[in-house]
Amino acid sequence: MDFTCAKCGTTITRAFPDGKFSPPIGCTIHGCRSRTFSPVRSTAKAIDFQKVRIQEILKSGIYEEGRVPRTVECELTEDLVDFCIPGDVVTVTGIIKVINNYMDIGGGKFKAKNQGLYYLYLEAVSVRNSKSHAVSEELSDLHTFSPRDLEFIVKFLDENGPDTFRQIVQSFCPSIYGHEFVKAGITLALFGGVQKYSMDENKVPVRGDIHVIVVGDPGLGKSQLLQAAAAVSPRGIYVCGNATTNAGLTVAVVKDHMTSDYAFEAGAMVLADSGSCCIDEFDKMSAEHQALLEAMEQQCVSVAKAGLVASLSARTSVLAAANPVGGHYNRAKTVNENLKMSAALLSRFDLVFILLDKPDEVLDKRVSDHIMALHAGNGEHLFPAKKQSRVLGSCGDIAFGATGSLISRLRLDHKKDKDFVPLPGPLLRKYIAYARTYIFPRMSRPAADILQKFYLRLRDHNTSADGTPITARQLESLVRLAEARARLDLREEITAKDAMDVVEIMKESLYDKLLDEHGFVDFTRNGGMSRQKEAKRFLSALHKESELKQDECFSISVKCFHCFVLIRYPVTKNMNIKKL
């Protein structure tokens, strides 16, 4: 910027290093001792400028309890401005510089007090954004694979062959005994499906991430499963619902104390972009449930606060664990009533698993032996007991709850697998990262036929019942799970066997969700309302109808606009309302 001397009119050009405003001290003309200058603002040369705050990424394999992740201010100029948004993983190369606090806030009466205070910032020279990668890179360069890593992946597939699924499922959280279906569902969520139309502006993107919720009684290892998922995920974040706010989950708008400008701070969902967000105590955060609706389906977080309007990417798999209301799960109520959760949020979960603490002499003995072996440190691996046969409802050829071939293939045999060794966490993490980066399966015709037939059977059984129909979300969930199943074996095509495995997992999830207190599958429970609640609403509708007609007795042929299917309840030909 040019400055004009107020006495002699001489023009002096000054450069501002690091953006610090510094007018001339005195006139350079001989004989002129003027110290008064007026800036010529039309001659100022400005550049684009942006200040961002970056935070280090803690590696999942290294637990540093009690330490807050370090942050540093970065200054982006010229073409680096708007190169990244909150939630992106970036690698910044720059020069460390210092600046006085008082220079940034304009001095004032605290100028003398703050004159000796400095803070560090990074003047960025280059910024590398990993947003375009399928798996966001971390400081450990997880997206790069050495020849040794590639050799391990090839040998792992050759040694296990068709048992790769079992090997990975049994290697996931081996400290938890049993729960093969739950582990299989969480494992498929870690691998994830394939996002479609993400780069096409003319089509709406279809999410490929799989959401799983585990509901059950306390003390069954739900939190440990989530912590294990966050540890082996290429980019995993673990949060607890009772200590999380709405802004902490999505995006917060904060005011910079130095410049008084508003800025975005990414929450857990945005920070877990292209990874997994594990939310424990999901039932304790009922006020924050609405913030997850958009992030779970549209894979983005829209925010409009303090004059700032933006949409941030949140392509993450939500793995949640919740305890039912009252401490124990009540089969007489539906999942919605046990969790006090809206049907819109529950329908966004691809898999819903329910864990019940039922007394079982054989299973309790094996679980106690497994826990004592873990505490003894002898490394003995115990094997699950066989599940008892279930009482099934009349559901035609769907056969909910039937023990299929998948559960027998996932379990370990105490004779054949005596020398079984779980896959270490870092290697499993590297395997998942490789699959998510380079494997994008395609649907085959036999697999598509199996998934379509299963979906049409569900629609047929559910439409005939009095409940909310199963929507196309269940079909999309089947497709995503099938893609994850093929991706787990590093295959480019989804086979019929993959589709059958996914159908068995979906049957287990729906069986837990639709089972009533008598042990029968009831499709009416999919609507989020139990039979007891339906009966109360039916009687309430009868009371309202009798008050409108001023008649206490009426025939069953009278149709109430609030009533449900009347033949479900034992109603006599002429019913007196007062006797109910």
Residue 478 lies in a domain: yes
Residues 7, 76 within the same domain:
no
Are residues 279 and 225 located together in one domain of the fold?
A: yes
**Which pLDDT value is given to residue 302?**
83
- Is 482 in contact with 445 (CB distance < 8 Å)? no
Both 455 and 543 in one domain: the answer is no
pLDDT value of residue 135: 41
Distance, in Å, from the CA atom of 260 to the CA atom of 258, rounded to the nearest integer, reads 6
Of residues 564, 533, 522, 485, the one with CA closest to residue 185: 485
Domain for residue 39, yes or no? yes
Same-domain pairing of 9 and 24: yes
pLDDT in the model for residue 576: 43
CB of 195 within 8 A of CB of 206? yes
Is the residue at 569 inside a domain?
yes
Q: In sequence order, which residues have a C-beta less than 8 Å from that of residue 559 and are 6 or more positions away?
A: none
Q: Can you name the residues that pair with 170 across neighbouring β-strands?
A: none
Do residue 519 and residue 443 come from a single domain? yes
As a whole number of angstroms, the distance between CA 393 and CA 558 comes to 32
Q: Identify residue 566 by its one-letter amino acid code.
A: L
DSSP annotation of 414: T
Tell me how many domains the chain contains. Answer: 4
Distance CA 191, CA 229 (A): 11
Shared domain check, 189 and 75: no
Query: How far is CA 240 from each of CA 215, 218, 267, 345, rounded to the nearest angstrom?
Result: 15, 15, 13, 18
What's the pLDDT at 377? 61
What's the CA gap between 255 and 270, in Å, rounded? 19
Any domain includes 34: yes
Write the CATH number for 283.
3.40.50.300
Of 229, 195, 226, the closest CA to residue 209 belongs to 195
Task: Decide if 521 contacts 392 (C-beta within 8 A).
Answer: yes
Q: What is the pLDDT of residue 449?
A: 92
Residue linked to tokens 């003047």: 123
Three-class secondary structure of residue 293 per DSSP: helix
- Selection from 149, 150, 232 nearest residue 189 by Cα: 232
Are 101 and 155 contained in the same domain? no
Domain range for 13: 2-43
**541 and 424 share one domain:** no
One domain, residues 269 and 378: yes
Would residue 386 count as lying in a domain? yes
Amino acid at 334: T
Q: What is the DSSP letter of 196?
A: B
Contact 87, 136 (CB under 8 A): no
Q: Model-level pTM?
A: 0.71
193 close to 481: Cβ distance less than 8 angstroms: yes
pLDDT at 445: 92
Return the pLDDT at 544.
72
- Distance, CA of 354 to CA of 335 (rounded, Å): 9
Q: Assess whether 448 and 306 both reside in one domain.
A: yes
Strand 275-280 versus strand 316-322 pairing type? parallel
Burial 190-220 (b: 16+ CB within 10 A, else e): bbbbbbbeeeeeeeeeebbbbbbbbbbbeeb
C-alpha–C-alpha distance, residues 2 and 13, integer Å: 4
Tell me the pLDDT of the chain (580 aa) as tens digits: 888 887 787 788 888 777 777 777 778 777 777 778 888 888 888 888 888 888 877 654 454 555 667 788 888 888 888 888 777 778 888 888 887 654 444 444 555 555 566 778 888 888 887 764 434 444 344 556 778 888 888 888 888 777 888 888 888 887 777 788 888 899 999 998 888 776 666 677 788 889 999 888 887 788 888 888 888 888 888 888 877 787 888 888 877 766 677 777 788 888 888 888 888 888 887 767 777 888 888 888 888 877 778 788 888 888 988 888 877 777 777 777 878 888 788 888 888 888 877 766 666 666 677 667 666 665 444 444 444 333 333 344 445 444 457 777 777 666 666 677 778 888 888 888 888 888 899 999 999 999 999 888 888 776 544 444 577 888 888 999 999 999 988 889 999 998 998 888 888 887 766 665 555 555 555 555 555 666 666 677 777 777 777 776 655 544 444 444 443 444 433 444 443 3
In a domain, 310, yes or no: yes
Strand partners of residue 120: 98
Taking CA atoms, 350 is separated from 111, 195, 296, 346, 535, in Å, by 58, 15, 11, 9, 30
Angle, alpha carbons 360-361-367 (nearest 5°): 85
Report yes or no on 507 lying in a domain: yes
